[in-house]
Structure 1
């Protein structure tokens, strides 16, 4: 500006924070669009129908069998919304109001996303939720080994945590920052809907932050 001040100098602290969050979301969406373009594959093939017939070159762009789904249009029955969660760092054990937790105070180090065969620390996993991860937990006493394998195979490769959690009141839970749903089992269709709707949500406190390069919990297998 002409008087030497920037536009941000005239904004309140809250407005500056909201502006920075909007810039993060825009950068994340741009990155995701770029990755989608890179993942498109063009396959060229030629078909000869016999002597004297010109070869036909077919360009095929491989995309998803169904069009992308707008996460905001997905309704997940039974989802509990948890409000008033404080995204603050603590060095102590936290007594969370939810089991498993779905946000709140957490350890300064986030848990590296992946599949774990042992329980992971709540405080590290909650930090990963702050970054946009979805945490799927299951009670090993309520699932067979085959069902656990099925659950592992259904997990996306990024921004996902899967771990056992003893003593749950449902076989499977899916949690993101501020949202949670109890599921009837590994075949519950709400699991996939929850993941599509909330994984890497721009509404988390730190959208686009890493879900790797931090700490592993015990029993990480991938």
Structure 2
């Protein structure tokens, strides 16, 4: 049985376009691969705390020098890292806020982007991600159109997530619903296209990992 970690980041618990897209993706995965195990991390319902000074100090302290208080400070980050590393595939639902991602998802990434845990620097100084090509399906929603046109350069949602997750060693695929704020007809067409795009992803085709094992 393979494990899929589903990360929801929208603070909107109802009427969220990104949550609806994520749920459709999970239903498709479960329908195609009945034995798949789905683990959910909902940052909207249960936000993780943003990094503070004690946590940053603990993160920069060698493991053998950690105090008991510092070890306790790192329990959340350690558990989040273990959760990511044990997953065979990531599915991330994310709305665009002010051209980027919600602060709750950024806080989560700050906990899992750990030197010596999810990445390290090799002898040549180049970063090496620990996710080992783990597939990451990123399901985005945005009010306008940013995949093309005059606002393309304002897309720091997919650009940032693609950069940081690739740095950690994941292989990213993107499916998006955009034009959410441009009227019901545009939204309906965008959702229909996103559903079709989902079926073409490596995640749904099982090209990256065999979820049926």
TM-score, with structure 1 as normaliser:
0.23
Task: Say which one has the larger Rg.
Answer: 1
More helix by share: 2
